[in-house]
Amino acid sequence: MPRLSVARARIRVACLAALILASLPAIARAQGPSPETAAPLFPGGALVSYGSTFTTRGAFAGTSGIIPATALPTFSYEGDFDFTWGFFSNFDLEVTAPIVTNHFDFAGAASPEAKGTGFGDAMVLVKYRFYRKDSTRGTSQLSVTFGPKLPTGRTDLRDAAGTLPAGLQAGSGSTDFFAGANWTYTGVFNIRRLVADEDFRSLLRTTGTQDTRLGDEVESRFWLSYRPYESQYASRDWFIGPELTWLHSQNERVQGVEQNGSGGDALLAGVTTYVDARPGLDVWVGVDWDVAHSSGIAYMPVRRQIVFGITQQFRLHF
C-alpha cells in the first residue's frame, strides 16, 4: 500500500476512535459517553472496553424487615465487558457481558443488608446507520440498534431469609428485547466543535425468575458536548458538556399480578467528559443526579449515577 494511503487510513482510524459508544448496560448499564453515538465503527474496525456504573437509590423506608417482592438495589455496581466489531459498512456487532453487585439496605439499619455478586445477562446487538449527511456545518447521522438480552445471569442470590427477589438478582431469568435509536448533529449553531447527541433505548421484558416480569424500561439521554481541545488530525480530543436523562419503568408483575406503584419516571441531570488519550484509546467519566421523580408507593428512583470506563480500538482482519 502506498505511504499516502497508509497515512490516510491511520488518520481515519484516529478520527473514528472518538466516535464510539463504548459499552452498553441493560438500560441502567455502563454507558460510554461519545460525542457521536450514531456513528458505527469503520469496516474491519473493532474495540474492547470495560465500563463501570455505580447507581444509588437510597435506603428503603420499610420497617418490617422483610424485603418487598418489587425491591431494587439501593446501591449497585455493574461492570461491563464489551466487544464491538464493524463487520460491514454502516453495521456494528456488539456483545456485552456484565458482572453485577447488588446491595439492599433498610433505612436506619434496623435489618442487615442483603447483597450478592454474579454474572449478569449478556446482550448481542446489531447497530445500523441508515442516514448520514455531510455539510459545511458538520455531519448529521441516524442509526438504530436492536437485539436480544439473554438469560445468562445468576438468579440464585440469597440472604439469611432465603432467595432474594427478582429485582435484586444479578440476572433476570428472562429473554428480553433491546431496541434503540441514536441521532447526532455536529456543528450546533454553526459552531464546529459543538455536538448535540440523543441516545434513546428501550428494553421490552418477558417473565423470568420467580415468575416475575420486571417492568419494561425506556431511557432517553441528551448530551450537548463541546470540544475545547483538538490536536492535529484529531488524534487527541477532549469533549465535555451537560446531559439530561429521562428514565421510565413500567410496573412489575409478580405471578401475573401487576404491582401498582412499582414503576415510575425520573429525570437526571449531570455532566460528562470524554478524552481521546491517544489514537484508539478513549476514557470517559460522567456523573448524574436526581432532579425530579415519581412518587409511587413502591417506586425506587435513581438518586445518583456515576459512570467511567476505558476503550481500546484496533483493526480486526476478516
Whole-number pLDDT of residue 250:
96
Of the candidates 15, 31, 10, 38, the residue with the CA atom closest to the CA atom of residue 315: 10
Who's near 113: CB < 8 A, 6+ residues apart?
Answer: 103, 104, 105, 106
Query: Which residue from 57, 104, 47, 51 is spatially nearest to 78, judged by alpha carbons?
Result: 51
Which CATH number does the domain housing residue 50 bear? 2.40.160.40
- Confidence (pLDDT) at 26: 38
- What pLDDT is attached to residue 59? 72
pLDDT at 232: 65
**What was the pLDDT predicted at 121?**
98
The whole-model pTM stands at 0.86
Question: 198 forms bridges with which residues in the sheet?
Answer: 183, 222
Let me know the angle formed at the C-alpha of 182 by 186 and 174, rounded to the nearest 5 degrees: 160
| pLDDT per residue as tens digits for the range 5-35 | 434 444 343 343 333 333 333 344 444 546 7
> Residues near 162 by Cβ (< 8 Å), separated by ≥ 6?
none
What is the extent of the structural domain holding 223? 3-315
Cα–Cα distance between 85 and 125 in angstroms, integer? 11
Which pLDDT does position 62 carry in this prediction?
Answer: 64
pLDDT of residue 29: 44
CB 284 within 8 A of CB 32: yes
Domain count within the chain: 1
Q: What is the DSSP letter of 1?
A: -
At residue 36, the pLDDT reads 84
Q: What is the pLDDT of residue 10?
A: 40
241 touches 156 (CB < 8 A) = no
pLDDT at 297: 83
In the numeric block, which cell numbers belong to residue 217?
424500561
State residue 176's pLDDT score: 98
Residue 220 CA to residue 85 CA, distance in Å, equals 25
Regions in the chain scoring below 70 on pLDDT: 1-34, 61-64, 108-112, 232-235, 318
